[in-house]
Amino acid sequence: MKKIFFPAGLLLCFITAANAQISTRVYNKNGYKLTLTNYDATLDTAELTRLVKTFYIVYPELAKEYNPATLKDVKMVVDTSYKGVAATADGKVTIASTWLHKRPEDIDVVTHEVMHIVQDYGESTGPGWLTEGIADYARNQFGVNNAAAKWTLPDYKPTQNYDNAYRITARFLVWIEKKVKPGLVKEMDSQMRKHTYTDASWKTLTGKTVDELWKAYAANPAV
């Protein structure tokens, strides 16, 4: 195999050019540290500022409401290679830069994702649909820009079910909070984190199984 050698100065230029596309800033405010890494040099810096501002508005409130022991050191990455919308793992939120270009007003993607950090369910035996439903419930409750993003909880449809997750489950939880059991979401969140949740939790807390609750919701879904 033929070896190709580059002059040291040229190699340094290549490395510098590659690194120029990556920016990292560290913020410290009110006891919370946020490290924001951006891989997209074409993204408006105002959008990055909005990500940081949203984090510092919603994360302390979510922590206060659900889990004061949540992480104080959070990482956020705007990723050009991520193909989804956003994901969270091990205290790091990854947001697709393509999504921010497409939906710049959907800044409360941050709210949903950092709620997953607050949830901190670990290897929970609880259902994934409830995890995502609680995260969207929190976004509905604490989001700062949902209206501008045209993000709302969907009206009930007969084709839905409580385990559809995300906004469908979130609306069901709103209904339970208003019509059946105020405080249910915080209790479910706590049980999921403590790994004490079971299917029987619904009946213990509300007097009805989740299927019975859904049937009642379907009969009168107004919130």
pLDDT > 80? residue 85: yes
Identify the CA nearest to 172 among candidates 119, 127, 221, 115: 221
Domains and CATH numbers, the chain: 22-120 (1.10.390.10), 123-223 (no CATH)
pLDDT > 80? residue 21: no
Q: DSSP 3-state assignment of 44? A: coil
Q: In what order do the strands lie in the sheet with 32-38?
A: 23-29, 32-38, 73-79, 92-96, 86-89
Whole-number Å distance between alpha carbons of 60 and 167: 23
- 35-57 pLDDT, tens digit per residue, is 999 999 999 999 999 999 999 99
Q: What is the 3-state secondary structure (H, E, C) of 141-190?
A: HHCCCCCCCCCCCCCCCCCCCHHHCHHHHHHHHHHHHHHCCCCHHHHHHH
Q: How confident is the model at residue 215 (pLDDT cuts 50, 70, 90)?
A: very high
Mean pLDDT within 155-182: 98
Q: Is 120 exposed, middle or buried (0-12, 13-18, 19+ CB in 10 A)?
A: middle
Amino acid at 96: A
- The pTM score is 0.90
Note the pLDDT of residue 16.
Answer: 34
Whole-number Å distance between alpha carbons of 137 and 171: 7
Whole-number Å distance between alpha carbons of 137 and 174: 7
Weakest mean pLDDT among 20-34, 48-62, 87-101: 20-34
Q: How confident is the model at residue 11 (pLDDT cuts 50, 70, 90)?
A: very low
Q: What is the DSSP letter of 81?
A: S
